[in-house]
Amino acid sequence: MADRTTAPASCVNHLLKNGVEKAESRLLVSRKTEINYEGSDFSLMRTTDDISLRITGINENRRASTVINKTDDYSLAQAVTELMDLIESGEADPAVDISGYQEEEFFSRGPEEPDVELMYSRLDEFVGRVRLEYPSLLLEQVILDHTLKYRSYENSNGVKLSSKIGEYTLVAMFTAKEGENTSSFNYSAVCTENLNVNLWEMGSIDELMQQSVGQTVTTPIPETFSGDVIVTPDCLYGFISTLAHYLTDHPMMTGTSIYKDSLNKKIADTRLTLRSMPLSEQLSGGYFITEDGFKAGNTTILEEGILRSFLLTLYGSRKTGHERAVSSGSFYVVDPGDETLEDMVKSVKKGLLLCRFSGGNPASNGDFSGVAKNSYYIEDGKISFPVSETMVAGNIKEMLNSIVSISRETVNNGYSILPWIMFNGITVSGK
């Protein structure tokens, strides 16, 4: 990777020599070593290298970018020539800019080299346990990989930031089959800096596989109702991402965000505190450099239900007049509550344990609807049966203000640390 790390500076210099007022360059070089298990056998082991170089120039408030996957002198020169033409034909926008000067810094975390023998051993143990404990479970595909990512950002204001992050990732896709009956497809993804524990102990993968075995026969819900829905950590991430989207550049700049006028105002139940934690030592994934060329930081998005930060880039902040966020979002952490999951279930007269949600993007007003997958009907404080053909509908804005309880338990999958949350007033109906 080292021979490519000079490319960002070279691009910036090329652009400045061609008369560009401001220039920036982002480099990503990754090396992935992966082992695949598919169907009933190990199918692939390989190492691949990828490179992406994004260069941006600004002249007379006109900005343009291009992305290339080669860093030789000819490719760089050609990309700069093409970029100059794109800048000339662009529209002027006084909000475009690059990050201001910051002290040069290099960040590093995680293993740079994969332990291939341990990777194979852990994956073999995982497959063996599945065969023993869940004989009806079909592992459609399991991928265990080690990825080393080198990132570099440089610009004409003298900013030079770089990072090197190594991590292991497990992705498992599975279903269960009993006779003629088959469960709905399910999957899990976890990220870790080491392989010190068994793969099935990471995140919630073992629980999801166990659930699949018991979901080969499903039952329609007895009636449509508006009631309590307990959202699992795996499913909760999607709803949090929806909330976060309303806080980003495009919805905020276009004025379509349902939270555009809500900074420092209460938008959720006071028990909900949400953070974006890319630098957290508790999370294996993360990033040190933001999308807009700044040193990343952790940020509190919701503090006891009050919106404390939008997720705006430098451009978004200049367009809206609000502060730029110190993180680029993701790597979400929700503070745990004070109830056990068991007590949460016992408190439900009629409701749903929502384990996976399949739906389109919410409407501009926050309305959402979709299908409950791999989920369960709850009646009289007990999880009764896995449901079939069940629709879930609500409004994200109302949902966040209708929290009944938050669990003490949380799940850390390396990408997030989230609890179970019970919401009231969600519409559940047969499809």
- Asked whether 394 and 352 are in contact (CB, 8 A), the reply is no
Q: Following CA atoms 136, 351, 335, 194 in sequence, which dihedral angle do they give, to the nearest 10 degrees?
A: 0
Give the C-alpha separation, 195 to 431, whole Å: 42
**Tens-digit pLDDT string for the chain (431 aa):** 445 567 777 889 888 988 899 999 999 999 999 999 987 788 778 899 999 999 999 999 999 999 999 888 888 888 888 999 999 998 999 999 999 999 999 999 999 999 999 999 999 999 999 999 999 999 999 999 999 999 999 999 999 999 999 999 999 999 999 999 999 999 999 999 999 999 999 999 999 999 999 999 999 999 999 999 999 999 999 999 999 999 999 999 999 999 999 999 999 999 999 999 999 999 997 999 999 999 999 999 999 999 999 999 999 999 999 999 999 999 999 999 999 999 999 999 999 999 999 987 888 899 999 999 999 999 999 999 999 989 999 999 999 999 999 999 999 999 999 999 999 999 999 86
Phi-psi region of 156 (alpha: psi -120 to 50; beta: other; left: phi over 0): alpha
**Alpha-carbon distances of 44 from 69, 128, 233, 294, rounded to whole Å:** 25, 18, 31, 38
Q: In the beta sheet, which residues pair with residue 68? A: 53
Helix (H) or strand (E) holding 344: helix 341-346
- The CATH number that domain 2-213 falls under is 3.30.2290.10
Strand, helix or coil for residue 196: coil
> Could you tell me which of 56, 62, 57, 65 has the C-alpha nearest to residue 88?
62
Joined tokens for residue 227 = 């009631």
Instruction: Spell out a b/e string for 277-316, using b for 16 or more CB atoms within 10 Å of the CB, else e.
Output: bbbbeebbbbbbbbbbbbbbeebbbbbebbbebbbbbbbb
Determine the longest span between alpha carbons in the chain, in angstroms.
73
Domain range summary for the chain, segments of one domain joined by +: 2-213, 218-431
